[in-house]
Structure 1
Amino acid sequence: MSEAEDALGLPIVVMMRDARCSLGWIAGDPHSPILALAANDADPVILRAEATTRNQLTISNVGIGSTADAVRAAYGDQLVEKIDPDTGLTQLVFEPNEAVDANYRLVFDLETENGESTVAAMRIGQIGEVERTEPCPS
């Protein structure tokens, strides 16, 4: 977490701690993502970041509210379509092909209304943390 704070030039505020994980956000940023942090460290690792507003976009300019077609156009054959077993929602999961990013995923949860699928939620993080819908394990 301290490495992220140094890069941001802002502190990360921990708003909830328990034995499973801690949740935090970037101080002073009204559009801060929700950060899930490892619960057992004095300087916890950020396990995942969850978008909270339409203002948070990927480098490919997609985010909450983007169409599924826009996500597919941006990420192409690196996307895998899955069904979330807990919610039944369709997910588009970006699987990076660079070795340095192999342990991370970018997940787009889709909702369909009037025949059009759009991004309802978006998160990025480590494999094993980012697949579930909730930030902390149950």
Structure 2
Amino acid sequence: MRFEYENLNADDLRGATVLEYLVNVEADVRLLDDAGEVLYSESDFPVLELACHLLAWWQDGAERGPFTLDDTMVGSSFSEPGVIRFDPVDGGQWLFSSVFHPDRSGYRVTAAEMAAAVSEFAERLRADLPALRLDPALVAAETVR
């Protein structure tokens, strides 16, 4: 599994608060399975928000519960519950689902695959933010805690 994005931009960024950065650093995002099939895609998606929330969730370690990107998260720009969701299942795996793509739900990913996907996604975003004159340190769990 991997998170991909293109067309990274901060075109709607008007302020300099953390909340402004979270919701206005956007890209066309895709979540792909191992075969390259699209599980989720969205244009102008708040990619910084997704990366920070994924990092915060994954760093919770043994206390980690399901991941749900929705309006309950700090800085969330989503009003729908379960925009992107990962639920724990047997064998230390995680089950993907999305309210926007119920037909693509059910993909399972191992903890090692999830760790790699989150890390690679965050590292790429850190590398790309300076092109927008933004600090790569924004891509951190602490940004949303």
TM-score (norm 2): 0.28
Q: Which has the higher helix share?
A: 2
TM-score (norm 1): 0.29
Higher CA-based Rg: 1
Q: Which has the higher strand share?
A: 1
Greater RCO, 1 or 2 (C-alpha within 8 Å, sep 6+) = 2
